[in-house]
Structure 1
Amino acid sequence: MLGKLTNRLLLGVAACVLATGSVSQSLAVEAEVHVHLDRPSVELSPVLYGLFFEDINYAADGGLYAELVQNRSFEYYPLSNNRRLHPLSAWERVQRDGGTAKLAVVDEAPLNDKNTHYVNIALDGTGTAGIANSGFAGIVLEKDAKYDFSVYARRTEDADKAINVQLVKDDGSVLAEGSIDAVSAEWKKYELTLTASDDATKAKLVVTTTGGGVLSLDMVSLFPQETFKGRKNGMRKDLGQALAELNPKFLRFPGGCIAHGSGLANAYRWKDTVGDVAERKPNWNRWGYHQSYGLGYFEYMQLCEDIGATPLPVVPVGVACGFTRPFDKVPMEDLHIWVDDALDLIEFANGPVESEWGKLRAEMGHPEPFNLEYVCLGNEEHDTPEVRERFPYFVAAIRERYPDIKIVGTSGLGEGIPLYDLMTREQVYSSDEHYYMNPNWYLSNTRRFDSFDRNKPKIFVGEYASEGNSMFNAMAEAAYLTGIERNADIVDMTCYAPLLAKYNYTQWPKADLIWFDNTQVVRTPNYYVQQMFATNKGDVYLDNSVEMARNVVDKRYAGRVGIGTWLTTIEVESAKLNGKPLNFADWEVLGGDYDNTKSAYFQRDVRAEPAMSLAPESADGSKTVYEVRARKTGGEEGFLLAFGYDDGHYYWWNIGGWGNTQHGIEVRQNGQSTDRLVTTRGSIESNRWYDLKVELDGGRIRCYIDGKLIHDFQAMSPELCVSPTMDRSNSEVMVKLVNPSDEPVETTVVLQGGRLADEATLTTIDGPAGAVNTRESEAVQPVVTELKAARTMKLELPPISVQVLKVKLK
């Protein structure tokens, strides 16, 4: 069908690569996708798509966890990265009708030894006084909705004086009210139900009384009765629903970096998060705020049941976060305590009610086991001797007592997966790899898993995101997922991270799947891509081929050339573009201290980051040779050869970069690095002349030092990414199509083999590359179109788009 078109490209199995830059196409692009319904290949994991929850960006308290009172047990205190916190954060004194009170958070006679702080309200016996809580920047109430209030209280005198409980709007009007008739001299829990008479977004909870003495309060709680799935101590209903609609098959929790903490004293110990919420030991996390642990391991596993996901708990392996200095580790003589914690966790999830931890699970309301299948050991551990020494003890202990549990190890942080060899040696079920890269990395790595050794552990892509929530980011992630589905025999699980982010309370603002505030939930384009893939997964990948035809003029590297440095001084003897000498007197200095008063061109500012100078001459996008002869005269690094400079977007060859340890080609945008196309180890000597050359030919970059080839990078033009799968139980074929280019692609899908029914749908997610969803508008959403199924179906793939063609089979 494409035989008469020029520049045919046969891709075979689906793949796509896109280097940053522009490719001008003078003819419409056409593609032909052949899907062989009768040629299944690899089986897709039943748990391929899941969720990762970490308490970052206020994802738990003030977020998914439905508690409306902030700092309910008065356990806040200032942190090194959040000095504004204090024991009365979110609380204020209330004084009415001439009454006065003094507030003090103390720990002399606590509720228990885990929840040690409480508030004393010293009353003067006149008027009304008490305390009010503003929640998480306001308490949201719905008209006619019911709210469960509870508090632990005691009083030294005037015990017969009632405690009045009100929900008060920001204008002072009372929306709900109830009272506790009397308070004992010892700690006791009191409960009542309040019904809101109107809506509110900035309400407060007010607790007051009359009389004298000292009123002590702890565990002050206000919980909506209407939670996700109606659970007590449960989840916020709209956020829970947003998770369920992603169709996740597993939930990884509770982190993330909080799992092993900033130090071992701060590590996440699951035993602190179970049992009565009043007896859980609160903690702070490395993201700069406190955790009530009301959302604990029991609630996580219960949430898994509610959204149809299998639990994937993460337990620390005796070391702190690798970014923490000084690095903290459990002494080997104490490691058994941490190993026992991992074993006890499995007993809590699966053990009989007669066992110690199975009994606690039953007492919490779940006598049946949670059917835990996986345990994730560690999170992003750096490659250190301490990790390599401790990790095997956890593996051996779990295998001995619970041989059916699948152990998910950690590959370490970054695409280089430094601990994969340890995971291979320990023969874990799968190895957890994390990377947060720019979107072009994902587009350039759709074949990442094609060459992985199938005899090694499976891969769990446990944290990934493309550092943005635009349509372009979402599309790049979709392209990467097509490569994962093609390699589903080795990639067993994937989950985007982070999952949740609260507006104005983020520690990770780059990219988050779901944004929210107290009243709204915003699903990002990335969310809709994850939902599309999870709800159209299928259970087997289908053999396919892709043919594309276009007439292409590649102008990827068209633009000006230049030189630069980073914390380095240099002398440049000469520069040539396609053999023509360049006159330094005409160059435009963008930074640094350049001087051409002598025979050479000097950059003398050793502090400049970077120092750039551009020639007026440009390469036109065709074959180009750019040559520079230069030497380093001082500083920390080497040379920068810029090319393809166009309105702030450019490339440079970084020679002796990264502390004079590597050479690499980078893409730059407005002075910021957006991508490393290729790197290799190497360094530059001072006071030595170097002949440097960059050759450009279409999408190819070749770089030479003194005639020796250092880099040979080939960037392909944007191609379709295709992933066809079949759901045999539902008799459906899903063909996922990702168009990463800024041109529409006229696509013919040919379904070969099998018997087609008449039903077909096409779901499309598209929009401008920079489109994002906001509280004001979700500009990017899936659009579903009904089609008539046929062996040959013609589609137009919009620019920067993700589609799934779903066809019913007879």
Structure 2
Amino acid sequence: MRRLFAILALLTCAAATAQQVDITVHVDQPAAEISPHLYGLFFEDINFSADGGLYAELVQNRSFEYYPVPGGNPLSQRYHPLYAWERVTHGDAACELQVEKGIPLNRNNTSYLAVRVRRGGEGAGVQNLGFDGIRLDKGDEYRVSLYSRWEDGRGAPLQVELVDADGKSLASTELEAGGRDWRKSEAVITAKANCDDARLAVTTTGRGKLCLDMISLLPVKTFKGRENGLRVDLAQSLADLNPKFFRFPGGCIAHGQGLENVYRWKDSVGDVAERRANWNRWGYHQTYGLGYFEYFQLCEDIGATPLPVLPVGVSCGFTPPYQCVPIEEIGPWVQDAVDLIEFANGPVDSKWGKLRAEMGHPEPFGMEFICLGNEEHDTPEFAERFPYFVEAVRKAYPDIKIIGTSGLGPGIPLYRQMQRQDVYSSDEHYYESPDWFVQHQDRFDDFDRNAPKIFVGEYASRGNRLQNAVAEAAYLTGIERNADIVDMACYAPLFADVNHTQWNAANLIHFDKRNLVKTPNYYVQQLFAKNKGDQFLTTDIEQKINQQDLPEYAGAVGVGSWSTAVAVRNARLNGEPLDPSDWTAHGGDFGVQDGEYRQTDEQAQGVISIAPAEAGAEATYELEARKLSGAEGVLLVFGCDDPENYFWWNVGGWGNTQHAIEHCVDGSKYAIIETRGSIETDRWYKLRVETEPGRIRCYLDGELVHDYQHPTPKVGVSSTFDKQTGEVILKLVNPSTEDLKAQVSLSGGKVQAKSVDSILLTGSPSAANSIEEPDNVEPTTSQVDVSDSFAVDMPASSVRVLRLPLE
């Protein structure tokens, strides 16, 4: 069957000739000033982005603090204090390993390794396997350090060696060991060969009880040469995005799975050996070697404004049980926010400014913003606690701009609260289909200009194919058009280790221990960030559309329910009866009973059953439906290609408060039209859906509820002016599957050059980059003839950038 629901297939159908788009740029009519902070980065320790990723440490579980992570993920239960470590003996040496807590290195680092050496022989001890092996580069230097003590005070020396999987030595050094007290020892060693599967071994020929902790191996070659630094290629890929801000340390991990593992910034600063390690809600451990100081330092190194995110006394609302700090105990949490500003900006004689100076940065970091909260749910507990943070920050630091949270999803459930708190801007997050991003380019056109500004703090179109990137580019043109209210925007998530990924929907940069892959989405972010401009120029767009380009809602039909038991009867497609006994259920408890087709599992959500009959381009689908019990109503499925791609008419959805037509693309749903409405329990209703190309009409008991007409497929166009260079920057986005021809005219200004560089990102809509093919999709540069009025191609699935110098 033809795949009607291939992403973006609704945007256009085949046309005999390229359609024309007329674009008039009014150079003398600036419409909005573009924020200097518009494009930035969001970092969260997900997909092993920090330890084993951006943070350059090569030893895993260096302080023996791993333990099974709470939660139901079996992979999270594999962790234990000796994870990534194994015993090493040479010759007739013999030893046992045990993790103890008797005389810890400090109160935050309570576990250490006890190596009980019975026979030293040619060496006994332990080796670390790193993150799936340690990468070494021939000729590069590595800084090894550790803490040690001999319980009997003997102080026998330690042999530190880098070896390959066969035990061949690739680098070695000897370190002095501590006596009865802990002692730090370190050295720099040089790798003799390349290796992707090396181990770091620490052995001794002494005898007795050797205690080890904080065993570390860091490349000397880090980003900007920082000693506790970052992996060069990953950090450089961030700098290459020309970010104007950097949001950290994450989204959901900021407020934690529960109050037990909330990210407390004070645990992540000071001596790395004294930082309190933690686990995160993505199911693994984080050492905090990459902590708040390093985040601020990275911002400085890449020229980005720091944008720290702090919890506001409530846990992640998506993971039960929901937890809140008792209101009488909220004081220390509020003080954390105030103290963070002092750490970033305070004088060296202040408590936290002094710590910053001791860590090597006496100058203030120049923090301007603070993010309070992340995707919190609309609960009385959040509403009660959030104002405490706002009041305290404003009282102590009135110049700091407070960024609040709009909650999760395009419905922005908390935006009204943020208006009442009069925050500087409000952070909204959504992960939607490519079609959603294309159709919502005008999302911000009607936002209240007197309300808080908007920070699009997390967004992605659930994929790393070219079509995803182009859809996001179309959305960004709408952001630039509304740059007077949309102050900042950043894609999420940022990084993903290809071998350890929890978030598979979409990630900006993929990597393994040796390679880095820039996705098509990355190139879109880079093109927009490097070609932003200072003013959005008034732009007229006229796109000629052929009627045959309208989408067809052909496909199978069916029924479904959400948290509701329902019954249906007398189902007909184009007047022909449908027999539910032939239908295929996908979840729930569907069956024929007393002449009715019922779904009786009241707890099932979004379950559907599909008829074998298929509708054509024009169809009428009707049935009678009755709500038996539950929270919502009934779902009429139509235009169904498979169980992940379909439309449904949601009658009595959202707690039986509204009716809506929703589109599901690869399992992700969004409403294309909605209205208030509800249905009664145990009452039969006549429901009818009529479809034709580009149009859907829905009737409830003969009364028209929805008359949806597919909007004109829109290209994305952004015209901005760069004050420094005197150039008009033109970004042309064609998210459709057909080539277009643009006729560009400049009004109120003249083009100086006869030809300019054109940067073009295009290719097959399904094309993507991978470890094996990292350059499959990337921008190309060519020359394009230009004038005050010129024609330029807009290939299918493309983003084109032109910089037009003015006289």
Same fold (TM over 0.5): yes
Instruction: Give 1:287 deviation, angstroms.
Output: 1.1
| Structure 1 segments unaligned to the other structure (5+ residues) | 1-16
Amino acid at match of 2:27: L
Q: How does 1:158-173 map to 2 (within 5 A)?
A: 159=154, 161-173=156-168
Q: Paired residue for 2:414?
A: 419
**Alignment check: 8 A CA contact 2:31 2:537 kept:** yes
Q: Does structure 2 retain, via aligned residues, the 8 Å contact 1:24–1:552?
A: no
Task: Give runs of aligned pairs for residues 259-408 of structure 1, distance below 5 A.
Answer: 259-408=254-403
Partner in structure 2 of residue 761 of structure 1: 757
Q: Matched residues in 2 for 1:302 and 1:597: separation? A: 67
CA distance in 1, matches of 2:523, 2:165: 36
For 1:49, give the aligned amino acid: Y
For residues 585 and 406 of structure 1, do their structure 2 counterparts lie closer, same or farther at Cα, with a shift above 3 Å needed?
A: closer
* Match in the other structure for 2:610: 612
Question: Displaced runs of 4+ in structure 1, greater than 6 A?
Answer: 592-598, 633-636
For residues 590-649 of structure 1, give each alpha carbon's deviation from its aligned partner in whole angstroms, at most 9, with x where no partner exists: 338999999xx7324535932222435x3335xx54443454567876544343345775
- Higher mean C-alpha deviation, range 682-691 or range 469-478: 682-691
Q: Which one of 236, 242, 248 corresponds to residue 241 of structure 1?
A: 236
Are positions 1:209 and 2:204 aligned together?
Answer: yes
Q: Which of 487, 496, 502 pairs up with 1:492?
A: 487
Q: Does 1:564 align with 2:559?
A: yes
Pick closer, same or farther for the CA change 1:739–1:191 going to 2, 3 Å.
Answer: same
Which of 580, 590, 597 pairs up with 2:584? 590
Q: Name the SS of the counterpart of 1:165 in structure 2.
A: strand
Q: Write the letter of the residue equivalent to 1:615.
A: A
Alignment partner, residue 773 of structure 1? 769
The alpha-carbon deviation at position 98 of structure 1 amounts to 0.8
Tell me how far apart the structure 1 counterparts of residues 553 and 580 of structure 2 sit (CA, whole Å): 20
For each residue in 1:530-559, what CA deviation from the matched residue of structure 2 results, as whole angstroms up to 9, or x when unmatched? 111100000100111112224331452252
Q: Aligned-residue CA RMSD in angstroms?
A: 2.4
- Evaluate the alpha carbon distance shift between residue 456 and residue 633 of structure 1 in structure 2; reply closer, same or farther with a 3 A threshold: closer
| 1:663 equivalent among 659, 662, 673 | 659
2:49 aligned residue: 59
Q: 1:281 to 1:132 in 2, by over 3 A?
A: same
Q: Which moved more, 1:719-728 or 1:562-571?
A: 562-571
1:794 aligned to 791, 796, 801, which one?
791
Q: Tell me how far apart the structure 1 counterparts of residues 428 and 343 of structure 2 sit (CA, whole Å).
A: 27
Q: CA deviation at 1:21?
A: 6.5
- Between the two proteins, what is the percent identity of the paired residues? 54
Match of residue 807 from structure 1? 804
Deviates more, 1:556-565 or 1:69-78: 556-565
What SS does structure 1 have at the residue aligned with 2:454? strand
Distance apart, 1:762 and its partner CA: 1.2
**Partner AA of 1:501 in structure 2:** A
Q: Residue 560 of structure 2 contacts residue 637 of structure 2 at CA under 8 Å; is this kept in 1? A: no
1:129-168 matches, cutoff 5 A: 129-157=124-152, 159=154, 161-168=156-163
> Counterpart in 1 of 2:782?
785
- Are the structure 2 counterparts of residues 511 and 38 from structure 1 closer, same or farther at C-alpha, using a change threshold of 3 Å? same
**Of 701, 708, 721, the match for 2:696:** 701
| Alignment-mate amino acid for residue 802 of structure 2 | L
The whole-number CA distance in structure 1 between the counterparts of 2:155 and 2:269 is: 35
The residue number in structure 1 matching 2:4 is none
When structure 1 is superposed on structure 2, of 320-329 and 521-530 the one drifting more is 320-329
- Residues 407-461 of structure 1 show CA distances to partners (whole Å, capped at 9, x for unaligned) of 1111122212122122111111111111111212111211111111111110111
CA contact (8 A) 2:14 2:738 kept: no
Task: After superposing the two structures, state which structure 1 stretch, 539-548 or 674-683, moved more.
Answer: 674-683
Unmatched 5+ stretches in structure 2: 1-6
User: Structure 1 pair 256/665, CA: closer, same or farther in 2 (3 Å)?
Assistant: same
Q: Does the 8 A contact of 2:120 with 2:204 survive in 1?
A: no
Output one character per residue of 1:364-384: Cα deviation in whole Å (capped at 9) or x when no partner. 111111011111111111111
Shift of 1:656: 3.8
For the residue of structure 1 that corresponds to 2:205, the secondary structure is: strand
1:73 equivalent in structure 2: 63
Q: How far, CA to CA, are the matches of 1:646 and 1:279 in structure 2?
A: 56
* C-alpha separation in 2, matches of 1:370 and 1:70: 30
Q: What displacement does 1:32 show?
A: 1.4
Q: What secondary structure sits across from 1:37 in the alignment?
A: strand
Q: 1:162·1:179 contact (CA, 8 Å) conserved in 2?
A: yes
Hey, what does 1:542 align to over in structure 2?
537
User: Given that residues 556 and 644 in structure 1 are in contact (C-alpha distance below 8 angstroms), is that contact kept between their aligned partners in structure 2?
Assistant: no
Query: CA 1:647 to 1:605, structure 2 compared with 1: closer, same or farther past 3 Å?
Result: closer
SS at match of 1:207: strand
The answer to whether the 8 A contact 2:310-2:337 is kept is yes
Distance in structure 1 (CA, Å) of the matches to 2:194 and 2:372 = 45
Report the CA distance shift for 1:181/1:343 in structure 2 as closer, same or farther (over 3 A). Answer: closer
Moved more, 316-325 or 172-181: 316-325
Instruction: Write out aligned runs for 1:743-758 (5 A).
Output: 743-758=738-753
Alpha-carbon distance between aligned partners in 2 of 1:261 and 1:793, rounded to the nearest angstrom: 54
Name 1:573's counterpart in structure 2.
570
Deviation at 1:185, TM superposition (A): 2.4
Assess, with a 3 A threshold, how the Cα gap between structure 1 residues 55 and 419 changes in structure 2: closer, same or farther: same
3-state DSSP class of the match of 1:771?
Answer: coil
Secondary structure of the residue that 2:420 maps to in structure 1? helix
CA distance in 2, matches of 1:312, 1:739: 33
Aligned partner of residue 347 in structure 2, secondary structure: coil
The residue type paired with residue 89 of structure 2 is Q
From 113, 116, 129, the equivalent of 1:122 is 116
Q: Which moved more, 1:755-764 or 1:329-338?
A: 755-764
Tell me the TM-score normalized by structure 1: 0.92
Taking a change above 3 Å as real, the CA distance of residues 381 and 591 of structure 1, as seen in their structure-2 partners, is closer
Give the aligned residue type for 2:63.
S
Asked if 1:602 is matched to 2:599, the reply is no
Of the three residues 547, 562, 570, the one matched with 1:552 is 547
1:273–1:470 Cα change, 3 Å = same
CA distance in 1, matches of 2:580, 2:323: 56
The amino acid that maps onto 1:52 is: F
CA offsets 1:685-739 (integer angstroms, 9 cap, x no match): 4553322222334322221101323223221242211011111112222111111
- C-alpha distance 576-231 of structure 1, shift in aligned 2 (>3 A): closer
Please tell me the residue identity of whatever aligns with 1:551. Answer: N
For residues 759-799 of structure 1, give each alpha carbon's deviation from its aligned partner in whole angstroms, at most 9, with x where no partner exists: 52211111222211100113111111123432122211111
TM-score w.r.t. the length of structure 2 is 0.93
Deviations 1:146-198 (A, max 9, x none): 00000011113473532111110112211101111453221111011110011
Aligned to 1:14: none
SS in 2 for 1:496: coil
Q: Residue 339 of structure 1: CA displacement?
A: 1.5
Distance 2:51 2:503 in 1: 17
CA distance in 2, matches of 1:689, 1:284: 52
Distance 2:599 2:232 in 1: 58
Q: CA, structure 1 residues 642+259, in 2 after alignment: closer, same or farther (shift >3 Å)?
A: closer
Equivalent pairs counted in the alignment come to 785
Distance of aligned partners of 1:355 and 1:29 in 2 relative to their CA distance in 1, 3 Å threshold: same
CA-CA distance at 1:561 after TM superposition: 5.6
- 1:38 aligns with 28
The answer to whether residue 730 in structure 2 is matched with residue 735 in structure 1 is: yes
Match of 2:37 among 38, 47, 72: 47
SS in 2 for 1:248: coil
* 1:230 aligned residue: 225
Provide the rounded CA distance (Å) in 2 between the counterparts of 1:703 and 1:154: 77
Residue 240 of structure 1 deviates from its aligned partner by 0.3
CA distance in 1 between counterparts of 2:581 and 2:803 reads: 57
- Residues 214/631 of structure 1: CA separation in 2 closer, same or farther (3 Å cut): closer
Match of 2:3 in 1: none
